[in-house]
Structures are given as structure tokens and as C-alpha cells.
Structure 1
Amino acid sequence: MTPFADLLERLAFTPGRNGKLTLLRQYFATTPDPDRGWALAALAGTLDLPHVTSSVIKGLMEEAMDPHLFALSRAYVGDLAETVSLLWPEPDRANPPSLDEVVTSLLAASRSDRPAVLARLLDRCGASARLALIKLCTGGMRVGVSTRLAQTALADTNHPLETIERLWFAIDPPYTELFAWLDGGAMPDVDLSLAYRPMMLAHPVEDRVSTLSPAEHVAEWKWDGIRVQAVATPRGRRLYTRTGDDISKSFPDILAQMDYHGCLDGELLVVRDGEVAPFADLQKRLGRKRVGKKTLADYPAHVRAYDLLDIDGIDLRDLPWSERRARLDRMDLPERFDLSPLIPFDQWDALEALRDGARGEALEGLMLKRRDSAYVAGRPVGQWWKWKRDPLEADCVMMYAQRGHGKRSSYYSDYTFGAWTDGPDGPVLTPVGKAYSGFTDQELTELDRFVRNNFTQRFGPVRAVKPALVLEIAFDAIQESKRHKSGVAMRFPRIKRIRWDKPIEEAATLESLKAMIG
């Protein structure tokens, strides 16, 4: 456990990508199996330790010390893993388990036994190993390592990243076969027909659209759902997200219709009577391991196909987009599937006007694709572009603040903001959203200072803040929501500007926000 804990600590304090790659490569080269495989799974988000949740860990701490003191300590530190690592009683003599011992003992324990097993493991660890152990259990690494970065650390001249990405979804943790191949052995003999294909992504076009040739590009809508791959072969059917997560169990209605043999790239939506529903409706389907009949009926899933990556075992990704699209056009798509339409255009100005006028139709903007583009993993330069609508904006008032996590655990960095509505005694603020991005490190310091100087009440880790600061909020869309007291929900809210100069009386009203729903 100690080498893994050292790795996490060094990764957390190494900001650059190349520095993190160096640390990962050193660890994988010097750590034996299966520890390095479990570490790879933990960093890449493929290690599943069920039922070791934050509430279980909190329960252990509340047995070990006064619950109120623990709550105050957690509120001050701002991070559960760090708080427990500091407060758990120190062992007389640290005898940290190996990473393999941790994983196998937790996986072998029953649900009722897991808290006791975790407590015994914590008893053997020092503070650094305890922090790593709790992060391992909760899946919250927060060290700036993505799945792709971890895969990149494995790649070299003889083991290209593209091959590692293809093998990835056919091999389970702790990836013993994968590491054997990386160490000079034979390539794993696995069936890749049901594997996830690393997705091709787009760059924001911003102001560069005028430099592109309309004749060399096609345009299609960027739908407001989630990107998926729908893979079907004689061996089975799978539905993957853009990060390769298997969400098949959440969408049995889609899998039931996949009677083709191939891999489609498209957008997962909820569609009723031919109309795309708001993203909030799709969210009610995401993450569910079991989907009831009522949910299936109320939120019917649908895939709008963009691309065809494979058909009848033939890989099409090296073909130009125009040929892949022609084959997709000829394909007999099943129920719950349709084609994303292409948008004819001659000039960028006309296309921009069409983009700006489509806000109320479950659209985020446009995709621009070169007709000759092959399907390449990652974000190849100059091939695909996303031309999103300009965001909506509203001036709102900061109402509450909460500490962040990881590097932000010492700062109030999560801000709930509100808009004015009519109350029995005049205008009152009602919360309409929460944002924790869009500001610089210097602005974070200023916002944190403002919260500390102006908080009025405590609600656990949350601080009520004197209504005195206006935040200019940018958001992609706003929808009706029965889950929120205000009756509205913003999509991707972020802080565009801190309006130190603006009186709070001039902030937006709830009615003005509702008028943006379209």
C-alpha cells in the first residue's frame, strides 16, 4: 500500500502532464503484479469496490470518536478521506497491507463484514496509506490522471496507444495479460468485436470558422444528450458512453432493438412522439441499474446515429467520413434509432443564423466535419469542430458557499446563487443554481475572502452568505424542474464574471429566467 500511497501523493503535487506520465511509468515499471494492475484500475476508474461508500466510512469514524467533533473536523478540512486519514488512531507499529491484499480482502468480504474489514486495514496503516486506502474505497483519486493519461503511460514504440485502447475493454483488472504483453510477451488473445472503440472528438471552432472552406465540410446538429456507441455482434450487445462506461443495463429498451452487426456512434436521447425531450429527462435514466416499466414508458430512450465505425466485422474507421456516412445512409436502422440529419449550406453566415435560432429544440449547436476525415481517436487537429450556441447569461446573487475538494478543500469554492422573486413582504432571493468553475485562482482567493467576511449562518459544511455580491452566470440552457424549489434548472452553469460593481437589486428575477426557457 505504501508505494501506491506515495504515487498518489506525488501525482497530486505534480501539475504537469509530462511529470505525471514520468511518475506513472516509474511506478508501473517497478511495481509487481497484481499491485500495479489494481493501481491502474483505481486511477483509470475501472476498480469497483461495492458498498464501501462514504456513509460506511463516516459510520466507522462516528464509532471511533465523538460524531459532532468529527462533523466539525470534516467541515473544517473539507475532504472526507483527508479528515479520516488524520483522525484515525495511529497504529503502534505500522504494517501496511499490499494493494492486492486490500482489494482482494474487500472484494471477498460480505456487505455486512466490509466495514469491519476496512477498519482492520486502517488500523495497519499510517496517515499517508490511510488516505490512499480511503480514496481507493470511494473512487475519488483526484490526482489529475484520466483513463487516457494512464493508458498513455503504458504505451511505447512497440505497444501503441491505439492498440492498448482497443484491448482495454476486453481485459479485466488487474490487467495481468496486458502487463505481460507490455513486458515482452504475446499480445492477449481476446475477442474485440464487442469492445469499445475510442471516440473521435471535436475542437471548439470559436472565431476560426471563417477560415474553413464550406465545400470541404458538412454540418449536422449537436444534440443535447450524451454521446454513445451502440455495439451489436452475434456475441452480445453493448451501449458505451464517450468514456467507455458500459451503460447497457440502464437502457434495455435500446439493446432490445439492436438487431444489426456493427458499431454505431450517435447521441442518446429521450424522444416522445418524434420530439427530443430536455436533457433532464434523460438524466432520469442515467445511472440506473434496474429500470422499471413506468420509467421505460415515461422516458423512452432513442439513439440518433452520427457515424458507422464497423459493419459485419469490417472496420470502417480508416475510410473518409463521406464513405462511412454513405454506408450509414444505406443501413436499415432498427426501431428507436434514426439518422442525425445533415444541414445543407453554402455560406457560414447562413449556417450561423440557423444555429442561433435553434435554442428551443434540444440542440446545443452544430458539428462541422471534414468530408475526408478518418475516424481517429482523441481530438485530431483540423478534422471535426463543435460550433456551440452562445451561452445564456444572467446576473445572480451569491447566497451560500461550501468548501471544495482536493486542492480546493481549504477554500469556499462552490457557490449557490439566487434570483429575485416576490415574497409576502417584498422581493426575496430564491436559489436557482450552483457553480464551481469559471474563475481564476486569484478570483477564487478573493471569493473565499468575501465568504469568510460575510457569512451569516452555518448549515453543516454550508455557509449562508450576506446577499451582497452579484455573479454573472453563463449557462447552456434552462429548463423547468419539479425537483428544485425555484421550478427551474440550469444546464452547465459557470461564473463568467464577478460583478463587484453591481448592486444586488439589479440582479435577475426568477420570472426573467423562466422567460429563457424555450
Structure 2
Amino acid sequence: MQQFAELLDRLVLTPSRNGKLKLLVDFFGAVPDPERGHALAAITGDLDIKSVKPAMLRALMASRMDSVLFGYSYDYVGDLAETIALVWPSSHDGAQRAAAPPPTLADVVETLDRAARKDGPALIEAWLDRLDSSGRYALLKLVTGGLRVGVSSRLAKQALADFGGKAIAEIEELWHGLEPPYEPLFAWLEGRAEKPVSAAAAPFRPVMLSQALEVPDHERIDPESYAAEWKWDGIRVQATAERGTRRLYSRTGDDISAAFPDLIDFMTYDGVLDGELLVAASKDARSATPEVEEHDGPPQDDIVVGTFSDLQQRLNRKTVSAAMLKRYPVFLRAYDLLQEGTSDLRGVTFAERRQRLDAFVAGLEPSRFDISPFVPFQRFADLERLRAAPPHPVIEGLMLKRWDSPYVPGRPKGPWFKWKQDPYLVDAVLMYAQRGHGKRSSFYSDYTFGVWTGPMDDPELVPVGKAYFGFTDTELKQLDKYVRDNTVERFGPVRSVRAEPDHGLVIEVAFEGLARSSRHKSGVAMRFPRVSRLRWDKPAFEADRLETLQAMLPGGPTG
């Protein structure tokens, strides 16, 4: 547990990707089985500890510390695990740890895996007494599943590839056939055993990614060499069905099947589709949802495409209600066919794969599967015009793919390009700030901003978005100081910042799209907002008004 705790501490304090990779590779080399395998499972989110919940930890803390004092501490720190780790008041801390050594990570995982829920608090309490502050933090993060150390599942797989001198594609294709603590995997990576044979049906195939189109690349784009498609604003997925097993994967290889049973039910084929997951809606819903418009091409005329904010209602859910399935049904807009039956098509050209995709999708349920249509063009200037004014609000740009390109994992230079629309920019006023997590837990780094609405002589701010990146470390310190110096109200870890026409901080916000939203007071929802610039020079009353954003909506202010 102590080695795991040290790894978490160092990962939190290491901002660079390469630095995190080195820490993981060194950890895999220094720590034996099964400790390293359990640590890997914790980092990739593949541990599911059911016997401990946050409410249990709060109740446990109430038996050791005044609840009001703990509440003040929690408000200040902003993280449950970190707060308990810092204030855990074991009166016999040193003697207890000397008498009984700290538990290993394997001890914790394997004991909790066997434990009933009623036994969880007692086990955690005993372990907390045997650990120091760093160990307590690691234990609590482990059991609550919220590590927040800036390591994605894919980064962990890249570290495994680096550790064993393998291609990450090999790790990704094996991953879903392996189980913690991954001892056969580590044996292969260390050269002590043959490569594991994945017995899993419907495994993930590493995806092919595109490069951003730069000006020097414009001259190479012509219709004889490249196909053009719309870039749809959903989420990239891989829909795999094999030997009776059906799985839906994210672009990073995470299994998201449970969240989308309405698509899984219609995956009656044997093959692998690569495409974009989008929300569909019936025409009956269109009148109630004016931002939803008909899309070009299949599926048939009774299907329309929802906005990304509609899709967000379905994301990151372990279970989906019947009402949610009915209101926000999903469908797959296919880009590519990677496997047909037992035939692996990744080595053939895109032109051939696309021809086979047309025939493949023709046999599927049209309300759940269609094909991303090609965008005809004669010269590059045609693409510039189309990119500037796409025919549908759920389009965020163009995709350009070489006709002769095989499907190559990773991001090769040249075969595929993405050409996204330029971001929107508005000036907004900082309204609220919240403490961050990890290395930002001491800073107010999550910012809610608003624009003006109401009469010109008596305007009020209405929140329109939230951003937590786009600024430098130096700017973060400036923003944190501004928040502390201009706080007017406190709500736990959130502060309300002075924001008036004659006093307020203007932030230039960049975002990639805008949709109507009945869930927000402003009536709008931003896509990927981020801080573009801090406008220290601009008075708050010169920030944009809500009408500016409404004019950017598809169909204009009134739809």
C-alpha cells in the first residue's frame, strides 16, 4: 500500500505526460505481482469495490471527530478522501502502526472483494489506524474509485507498452480478455512467458485517428486522392459483435455497452463498425425540441438528429431508465467497417472498406444504423465554403480520408485529416469559482461565467458555462488571488465573486458549438468551453449579452 501511495502522490505532482509514463514504468519494474496488477486495475478503473461507499466513510468519521469541525475541514479541502486522510484522529497512531505493519494493496483488494458491506467500515477503520497520512489517502481513493491522478486508461496501457517494449495496439487488443491482477500480461511483458491468448469475444480494435489539417496540407487535397465526409458532433465509438457477444467501446477502448442497451439490442450482425454515436428522435419530438433538425441522408425521413447536449444526457451512466431510452434514443452513424464476419478488413483500402460498408449497413435496422454520407467536391475551395456553412447544426467540420489508406492504429500523418470549424468567442464575466482537484485542490480553478441580460440600464448576469482549462499556471495564481480578494459569498468549496457592471473580471471564452437547453436558465449550452484570454483591460459592462449567444444558435434567436 505504501508503494501505491507514493505512486499516487508522485503522479498528482507530475504534470507532464512523459513524466507520468516514466513513473508508471518504474513502478511496474520495481513492484512485484500481484501488487502492481492491483495498482494497474485501480488506475484504469477496473476495480469495483462494492463493500465501501462514501456515506459509510462519513459515518465512520463522525465516530472519531466532531461533525461540525469535520464539515469545516471538508469545505476547506474539498475532497472527502484527502480530508479524512489529513484529520484522522487515531490516538494510538504510532503504537498501532508499529504493532501491525501497514496492509499491502493485495491485502486490501482481496479482503474487500470477499467482505460483505456490513464488514467494510470496520476493515477500513483498522487499516486507517495502521497507515500514515499518505497511505490513508491512497486507501480511501482506492475504495471510492476516484483516484484523479491525471492518468487515463490509455496512458496506463501506453506505460505497459513502454515497460515491455511492445506496441500499444497489442496491449489494447488483449486488454478486454484479461483480468486483474494481470499476471500473465506482466509475465509476457517481462519475457517470461508467451503472449497471452485473449479468449474474449468481440475485443476492442485500436482506432485510427486523424491529424488536424494545416495550411501546407491544403494543396494535396483533391477528389481523386481524398474522400470528404462531415465531422459529426457525437462521440466516436466502435460497435463490435462476435460469437454472440456484443460490445460498444469508446475511442480509448472503454466498454460503454451498459449505457446504451438500445443500440446493443440491434447489433444483430457479426463484425466491427467504426462510427459516431448520435441521439435520434422521432418527428413527434421535433416540435417540442426546436434545436433538433433533420439530417441529410439515411436513416429514413422519420429520424432526426439531436444535439450534443441531448447526447450528454446518456453519457457516463451505469444504468439507463426507460424514460431516458425513449426520450434520447441513440443510433450509430457508421464511418468504416473493420471486420466482416471472420474477415479482417483493416489492411484493405478505405475505398474497398467503404464499398463493403454500404452493403453491410443496408441489412441493419435503419433507425439505429446509417452511413455518414460523402461530401462531393471538385476543388479545395468547395470544401472551404462547405466548412464555413455546414447544412446541419450537429456538424463540427469535415473529415478528409485518402481512398487508398488502410486502417492503421494510432495517428499516422497524411491518410486522414480533420478540419474543424473555427471556435466561437464571447466575452463573459466571472461569477463563481470552485476548488479544483489533485494538485489544484488549493486553488480556485473551476470557473462559472455569465453574460448580461435584461434592460440595458439595469442588466443582470446569467450563467452560460463553466471552464477549468485554457489558462497557464501563472494565470491560475492570478485568478485564484482575484477570487479570494473579490469573494462576496461562500457555499462550501464554492465562492461567489463580485460581478457588477462596474466591477468584474472579463474572460474571453472559446467554445466549439452552442445548443438550446431547457436545463439552463440562460437557455443555451456551450460545447467544450475553455478560457481563451483574461481581459483584465475590459470593463465588465462591455462583456457580451445573452442576445449575442442566442444569435449564434441554429436557426437564430427564435429557432
C-alpha spacing 1:20/1:459, structure 2 compared with 1 (3 Å):
closer
C-alpha spacing 1:333/1:305, structure 2 compared with 1 (3 Å):
farther
How far, CA to CA, are the matches of 1:51 and 1:200 in structure 2? 39
Stretches of structure 2 lacking an aligned partner (at least 5 in a row):
282-301, 555-559
Stretches of structure 1 lacking an aligned partner (at least 5 in a row):
none
How far, CA to CA, are the matches of 2:316 and 2:159 in structure 1? 29
Which residue is 1:334 aligned to?
364
By how many angstroms is 1:229 displaced? 0.8
1:436-481, CA deviations, whole angstroms, 9 ceiling, x for partnerless residues?
A: 1111111111111111111111111111111111111111122222
How far, CA to CA, are the matches of 1:242 and 1:250 in structure 2? 15
Q: Indicate conservation of the 8 Å contact 1:320/1:374, yes or no.
A: yes
Which residue is 1:130 aligned to?
136
**Structure 2 counterpart SS, 1:472:** strand
How far, CA to CA, are the matches of 1:56 and 1:281 in structure 2? 34
Q: Find 2:352's aligned residue among 307, 323, 348.
A: 323
Q: Indicate conservation of the 8 Å contact 1:481/1:487, yes or no.
A: yes
By how many angstroms is 1:15 displaced? 4.0
Q: Which moved more, 1:414-423 or 1:147-156?
A: 147-156
Taking the TM superposition and a 5 Å limit, the aligned residue runs for 1:34-183 are 34-50=34-50, 52-90=52-90, 91=93, 92-94=95-97, 95-155=101-161, 159-183=166-190
**Structure 1 counterpart SS, 2:462:** strand
**Structure 2 counterpart SS, 1:220:** strand
Q: Indicate conservation of the 8 Å contact 1:85/1:131, yes or no.
A: yes
Q: Find 1:265's aligned residue among 269, 274, 278.
A: 274
Which residue is 2:394 aligned to?
362
Q: Indicate conservation of the 8 Å contact 2:76/2:492, yes or no.
A: no
Taking the TM superposition and a 5 Å limit, the aligned residue runs for 1:219-368 are 219-272=228-281, 273-331=302-360, 332-335=362-365, 336-358=368-390, 360-368=392-400
CA-atom RMSD in angstroms? 2.2
C-alpha spacing 1:71/1:359, structure 2 compared with 1 (3 Å):
farther
Which residue is 1:432 aligned to?
464
Which residue is 2:290 aligned to?
none
How far, CA to CA, are the matches of 1:430 and 1:109 in structure 2? 49
The yes-or-no answer on 1:196 pairing with 2:226 is: no
1:240-278, CA deviations, whole angstroms, 9 ceiling, x for partnerless residues?
A: 111222222222221221121100001111122322111
Q: Indicate conservation of the 8 Å contact 2:202/2:243, yes or no.
A: no
**Structure 1 counterpart SS, 2:278:** strand
Q: Find 2:513's aligned residue among 471, 477, 495.
A: 477
Q: Indicate conservation of the 8 Å contact 1:397/1:469, yes or no.
A: yes
**Structure 1 counterpart SS, 2:459:** strand
Q: Indicate conservation of the 8 Å contact 2:13/2:439, yes or no.
A: no
How far, CA to CA, are the matches of 1:230 and 1:107 in structure 2? 31
**Structure 1 counterpart SS, 2:111:** helix
Q: Indicate conservation of the 8 Å contact 1:24/1:150, yes or no.
A: yes
How far, CA to CA, are the matches of 1:385 and 1:320 in structure 2? 16
Q: Which moved more, 1:150-159 or 1:132-141?
A: 150-159
TM-score of the two chains, using structure 2 as the length reference: 0.87
Q: Which moved more, 1:285-294 or 1:220-229?
A: 285-294
How far, CA to CA, are the matches of 1:511 and 1:339 in structure 2? 36
1:175-221, CA deviations, whole angstroms, 9 ceiling, x for partnerless residues?
A: 12222333421332332541111212222224344243324222111
By how many angstroms is 1:164 displaced? 1.8
**Structure 2 counterpart SS, 1:448:** helix
How far, CA to CA, are the matches of 1:504 and 1:359 in structure 2? 36
Return the letter of the residue paired with 2:445.
S
How far, CA to CA, are the matches of 2:62 and 2:391 in structure 1? 49
1:378-418, CA deviations, whole angstroms, 9 ceiling, x for partnerless residues?
A: 22223322211111221111111111111111211111111
**Structure 2 counterpart SS, 1:21:** helix
Which residue is 1:508 aligned to?
544
How far, CA to CA, are the matches of 1:168 and 1:146 in structure 2? 14
By how many angstroms is 1:51 displaced? 6.3
By how many angstroms is 1:297 displaced? 2.3
**Structure 1 counterpart SS, 2:442:** coil
How far, CA to CA, are the matches of 2:409 and 2:5 in structure 1? 32
Q: Indicate conservation of the 8 Å contact 1:268/1:303, yes or no.
A: yes
How far, CA to CA, are the matches of 1:345 and 1:294 in structure 2? 42
By how many angstroms is 1:53 displaced? 4.3
Q: Indicate conservation of the 8 Å contact 1:269/1:302, yes or no.
A: yes
**Structure 1 counterpart SS, 2:22:** helix
C-alpha spacing 1:474/1:333, structure 2 compared with 1 (3 Å):
farther
1:82-107, CA deviations, whole angstroms, 9 ceiling, x for partnerless residues?
A: 22211112423322111111112222
Q: Indicate conservation of the 8 Å contact 1:209/1:348, yes or no.
A: no
Which residue is 1:387 aligned to?
419
The yes-or-no answer on 1:9 pairing with 2:9 is: yes
Q: Indicate conservation of the 8 Å contact 2:51/2:116, yes or no.
A: no
By how many angstroms is 1:312 displaced? 0.9
Which residue is 2:524 aligned to?
488
How far, CA to CA, are the matches of 2:35 and 2:397 in structure 1? 45
How far, CA to CA, are the matches of 1:145 and 1:339 in structure 2? 34
C-alpha spacing 1:354/1:71, structure 2 compared with 1 (3 Å):
same
Q: Indicate conservation of the 8 Å contact 1:476/1:493, yes or no.
A: yes
**Structure 2 counterpart SS, 1:280:** helix
C-alpha spacing 1:171/1:450, structure 2 compared with 1 (3 Å):
same
Which residue is 2:436 aligned to?
404
How far, CA to CA, are the matches of 2:49 and 2:456 in structure 1? 50
Q: Indicate conservation of the 8 Å contact 1:237/1:255, yes or no.
A: yes
How far, CA to CA, are the matches of 2:120 and 2:23 in structure 1? 32
**Structure 1 counterpart SS, 2:127:** helix
How far, CA to CA, are the matches of 1:32 and 1:57 in structure 2? 30
C-alpha spacing 1:490/1:17, structure 2 compared with 1 (3 Å):
closer
How far, CA to CA, are the matches of 2:17 and 2:470 in structure 1? 22
